[in-house]
Amino acid sequence: MWVACLADRFADLERELNELDQPVGDGDHGSALKRGFRAAAEKLTDFKTDELPQAILMMAGSEFVKGAGGASGLLFSVLFNELGRACGESVRLEAPAFANGLATCVERITKIGKAKLGDKTMLDALQPASLAAAEKTSDGLVQSISGAAAAAEIAAQTTIDMVAKRGRGQYVAEGGKGHVDPGARSVAYIFQSLKTQVVSST
């Protein structure tokens, strides 16, 4: 199940993401995401195996925010809530719901966090991922998630040259220029993990 896989993956990534958060923040990003995904994975054990994706995704969103806390707890939970909402009553996540959910998620995170593209935040990876997913919708879910993962990977790397305008990075020297944004890197890791799982289940 994808929630458990993300919990395992982000437990492994805790140290790396905390280290990325040191020069541009307070060094807790990896621990926050690890706690968030672990909380979601623990709650999942109460769920029936035939639960609809919407219920699982919305549960993951609400448990994630409680477990992770901080700025990223709320912002990353939007990803799961919006993907869940986009699924409606569908019995599986399909490419159009994935792309639509991501597009709404970009809108909502922009509204909540007030960051613009180029402000060196998770949005700088999420927005290109959303566009790539939409472009591949007619090719199916594997292609759509693969496109999102590839786009997020490239985009996360581009945050190195950016000067932070939102989040803690705006208060460090040169807005953290020269360092990758940890939230953008996490977005890339999330899509990478989802891609691996979708590919291996087909």
- Contacting positions for Mg ion (CB under 5 A): 21, 25-26, 28-29
Residue in this structure with the two tokens 């960051």, named with its chain if needed: 115
Binds ligand ADP (CB under 6 A): choice among 39, 56, 60, 122: 122
Answer for the pair 155, 124: CB distance below 8 angstroms, yes or no.
Answer: yes
Binding mask 84-113 for ligand ADP (x = CB under 6 A): -------------------------x---x
By the rule CB under 6 A, 28 interacts with ligand ADP: yes
Residue 72 interacting partner from ligand ADP, Mg ion, none (CB closer than 5 to 8 Å by kind): ligand ADP
With 0-12 CB in 10 A as exposed, 13-18 as middle and 19+ as buried, what is 111?
A: exposed
Please report whether residue 162 would count as binding ligand ADP according to CB under 6 A. Answer: no
Tell me how far apart the alpha carbons of residues 145 and 194 are, in angstroms, rounded to a whole number: 7
Cα–Cα separations (whole angstroms), residue 172 to 16, 42, 43, 191: 20, 36, 37, 28
DSSP string computed for 31-53: HHHHHHHHHHHHHHTTS-TT--H
Stretch near ligand ADP under the rule CB under 6 A, chosen from 38-46, 137-145, 166-174, 193-201: 166-174
Query: Where do contacts with ligand ADP occur on this chain (CB under 6 A)?
Result: 21, 25-26, 28-29, 32, 70-72, 75, 109, 113-115, 121-123, 166-168, 181-184
